Structure 1
């Protein structure tokens, strides 16, 4: 009997998640990702280019009509399915979060559990936020006056740099729960949990293009996304430690009046998330409808 030879390790190839597919960066570039505790090599992550960003915006825009037009109940089912699939891959994410953030396995497990619960939280809000953010308005005249929230459109999100998974979920889930589509730039230092999340989203009934995940340098990718005319909003959470970049992006975003969520210092992603992020990228449509003998036609603005 021949001696058993030692197997070679099969390293994971991390890819972007754009339009429901897993491309490498069109530039062919990668960069080294290291352990958050010891600095040991973990993997090579794609180094996204501006072209990758533009491709992600095209995918997000293409997906917006179907996702925003889906029923709120259906969106809630999809978000709950994400939580289900994450639960099934919990151990993988515990390992990746522990490595990425340089924390122990028990603490990483708590982070992953909180992220799973966060998906469930927002799944439950999809068909309720309209009652919180909209309603009937009293007017002096024979009219019904109703305000209803509608999604802003395509939103670029700069994910938190330090909270590579719970923070990531906390900034993505509320934006898509309300019907928007997302282009997210993952934590530059710790992108691996985000890239693995793409694999979960691809198997969770989420239509391709609703969430698009890029890895690389925010300073390189974000300016072109902030200035992109087909991006309707931008969340600058990930620039909390670089206010110079935040200011640059906010100025670029003004060109087409994007809705901008400015970075806030020391956000605690373990706290009750509330509804702030759910409502931030919503617009309000108000409809006037005559009552009585004035006719059946209505108008809106």
Structure 2
């Protein structure tokens, strides 16, 4: 009997989009090569088409009612569960971040730890942000006047190009923590951590459609999303100045909320509440006091 050959072929990972809780290939069947910082091939990533973008909008809109209608406390529990699952896959994400950003193993591990901590941080804010940005307003008359925040709706998020995981979490988590649903356009040159995040979300308690992850050419995917009439807002974190201007013009057609690109030197810095309040609307309720009755009206 001949001696067994210990050499074997590697089983390469197939990366797919994450849309509506499922893992489709790009509708066009296209892929593009993803390489590390030294030009070494890592994987073929799906190259999303306009049809993929439209499908993601449909999925996000369908999921919005249930997600925005969940209690803030429940959303916090669900987001914390995602952090638990990320903790169990730290080694995989550290490897992908190291390859994507040309970092040492220890530095990549620090980035992943910071991303998980950031996710926990936003999970803790879900049932507190209303107390910070809402409240009672002084009015002249026998009324209570109360303001409370509500989610904007479907938000397109252009993930940062240079920070493949920590930056991604920093722009995605606040969007869904406040009850919005999201369409993520992953970093064009480093999409693998974002696509792997889709796998974590699929096996967590986050309902399908709440987060949808697309990879490919940022401008090609973002342009139809910026013009889509059923997208309510867009975060341009991953757009350069030229693309950002084009997308702002397209977004104006249905008065989308637009968060313009802002220079970020260190994504690990404490983020504050700005990205949570960016995609919240304020509902004002008037309620009579005293002998005028118990009924109220909202405007």
Task: Tell me if TM exceeds 0.5.
Answer: yes
In the alignment, what sits opposite 2:126?
126
In the alignment, what sits opposite 1:215?
215
Deviations 1:82-140 (A, max 9, x none): 10000001101111100011110000000000000011000100000000010111111
Q: Across the two proteins, how many residue pairs are aligned to each other?
A: 298
Distance in 2, Cα, partners of 1:202 & 1:27:
23
Structure 1 unaligned blocks of 5 or more:
none
Distance in 2, Cα, partners of 1:90 & 1:19:
25
Which residues of 2 match residues 72-221 of structure 1 at below 5 A?
72-221=72-221
In the alignment, what sits opposite 1:289?
287
Q: Given the two structures, how large is their TM-score scaled by the length of structure 2?
A: 0.98
Distance in 1, Cα, partners of 2:2 & 2:78:
51
Distance in 2, Cα, partners of 1:202 & 1:49:
22
Deviations 1:196-248 (A, max 9, x none): 00001111100000000000011111111000000000000001xx2111000
Distance in 2, Cα, partners of 1:70 & 1:171:
21
What is the SS of the residue equivalent to 1:293?
A: helix
Distance in 2, Cα, partners of 1:214 & 1:42:
18
In the alignment, what sits opposite 1:272?
270
Structure 2 unaligned blocks of 5 or more:
none
What is the SS of the residue equivalent to 1:2?
A: coil
2:7 is the counterpart of 1:9: no
Distance in 2, Cα, partners of 1:176 & 1:243:
26
In the alignment, what sits opposite 1:58?
58
Quote how far apart the aligned CAs of 1:267 are: 4.3
Distance in 2, Cα, partners of 1:210 & 1:17:
11
Q: CA RMSD in A?
A: 0.7
2:226 is the counterpart of 1:226: yes
